[in-house]
Amino acid sequence: MTDTTIRAVESIALRLPLPTPISSALALYTHVDATAVRLRTEGGLIGFGITAGLGGSASAAIKPYIDAELAPLAIGQEATSPEALWARLWSPNKPRMRAGLGVWALSAMDIACWDVVGKAAGLPVHRLLGGFRSDVPVYGSGGWLSLSDSELIAECQNFAGKGITAYKYKIGTSRDKERTALLRGEMGDEFTLFADANQRFTVAEALETARMLAEHGVAWFEEPVLADSTDDLAEVAASSPVPVAAGENVYFSWGFREICDRRAATYLQPDVGRCGGISEFAKIAHLADAYNLALSSHLWHELSISLVGAVRSGFMVEYAELIPDDALTHPFEVTDGQIRVPDTPGHGVELTSDALDRFAV
pLDDT of the residue at 169: 98
- What percent of the chain lies above the pLDDT cut of 70? 100
Q: List pLDDT tens digits, range 100-110.
A: 999 999 999 99
Find the Cα–Cα–Cα–Cα dihedral 21, 337, 304, 194, rounded to 10°: 60
170 in Cβ contact with 183 (< 8 Å): no
Mean pLDDT value of segment 113-141: 98
Partners of 294 in the beta sheet? 267
Distance CA 313, CA 315 (A): 6
Give buried/exposed letters for 151-174 (b at 16+ CB in 10 A, else e): ebbebbeebbebebbbbbbbbbee
pLDDT of the residue at 265: 98
Q: List pLDDT tens digits, range 171-202.
A: 999 999 999 999 999 999 999 999 999 999 99
- What percent of the chain lies above the pLDDT cut of 90? 98
239 in Cβ contact with 219 (< 8 Å): no
All domains of the chain, ordered by start, with CATH? 6-122+353-359 (3.30.390.10), 127-340 (3.20.20.120)
pLDDT of the residue at 206: 98
Q: List pLDDT tens digits, range 291-337.
A: 999 999 999 999 999 999 999 999 999 999 999 879 999 899 999 99
Predicted confidence (pLDDT) at residue 1 exceeds the cutoff of 90? no
Strand residues in 152-227 grouped as ranges (E): 166-170, 192-196, 220-222
What single string gives the DSSP state of each residue in 110-144? HHHHHHHHHHHHTSBHHHHTT---SEEEEEEE---
pLDDT of the residue at 32: 97
216 in Cβ contact with 43 (< 8 Å): no
Mean pLDDT value of segment 273-291: 98
pLDDT of the residue at 314: 97
Predicted confidence (pLDDT) at residue 116 exceeds the cutoff of 80? yes
Measured over the CA atoms of residue 101, residue 269, residue 129 and residue 254, the dihedral's sign is: positive
pLDDT of the residue at 325: 78
- Residue 205, amino acid: E
257 Ramachandran zone, left/alpha/beta (phi>0; psi -120 to 50) = alpha
pLDDT of the residue at 324: 85
pLDDT of the residue at 175: 97
